[in-house]
Amino acid sequence: MAETPIIQVRDLRKRFGRQVVLNGLNLDIMRGEILAVIGRSGTGKSVFLKHLIGLVRPDRGQVLVDGENIHRGGSRNLARIRERFGMLFQGGALFDSLTVEDNIAFPLREKTHMSAAQIQGMVTEILKGVGLEGVEGKFPDQLSGGMRKRVALARALVMHPEIVLFDEPTTGLDPILVRAIHQLIADTQARFHYTAVLVSHELPQIFDIATRVAMLHNGVILEVDTAARFQCSSNPAVQQFIAGRLEGPLTPT
């Protein structure tokens, strides 16, 4: 993995009314890594993720993609940069009225001039890549929770993005499915070579696939390190969070 940041976050600040969510956050996201962002509920992890793709505009600070400020140049420039991203939302965000094939084909039909045959071929290929074959004609409500997550991942990957953002992709799944989805993310990342930013509460399972782990606390990155070194951190707040202990500097709210 080349030590070149694909995303640089500089002094990111965001508040909603009196609530300060991000308070001068700085972080480099390296090209080709799987970065897991962890932290307590309500600390702004999803808000941070939405800043990376420009769904939320910061009060102050910058998000740079390959050195380019995503908010400089207006909406057309932001739309161009967003084409480099894929995003897997927490609930999957599939269209209930569309079949699996039409859900996955949606971005191809909206953003490309590919023929129907080409689109069908890409849908078939990407479904095979996430371990789902022969479900093209089914609707989301005919699928299990794990299968819906796989379809959502297929749609996020079908445009072959450079960067994929995952907002708690295993919410509501049992431990076996959590590991299956984590393994699927690791496998597809190795196959398609995208940079992954993954917001997760799944400890300690997330350490199995993350290249690095960053902990968000009080609006800043409290600590970031490789998954192995992060687990051995001397920071008492990090150790309390990993262990899930009530006692420590992180007080229950």
pTM given for the model:
0.91
Q: Is the pLDDT at 252 greater than 80, yes or no?
A: no
Model pLDDT for residues 193-249, shown as the tens digit of each residue: 999 999 998 899 999 999 999 999 999 999 999 999 999 999 999 999 999 888 888
Q: What average pLDDT does the segment 131-156 reach?
A: 89
Q: How is the chain split into domains, by residue range?
A: 1-84+162-253, 92-160
Model pLDDT for residues 169-194, shown as the tens digit of each residue: 888 888 888 898 899 899 999 988 99
Q: Is the pLDDT at 92 greater than 80, yes or no?
A: no
* DSSP run (H or E) holding 101: helix 100-111
Answer yes or no: are the C-beta atoms of 159 and 167 closer than 8 Å. no
The burial class, CB within 10 Å (0-12 / 13-18 / 19+), for 86 is buried
What is the homologous superfamily of the domain 1-84+162-253 according to CATH?
A: P-loop containing nucleotide triphosphate hydrolases (3.40.50.300)
pLDDT at 1: 45
Which token pair is 41? Answer: 């509920």
Which token pair is 15? Answer: 């508040």
CA distance 248 to 101: 49
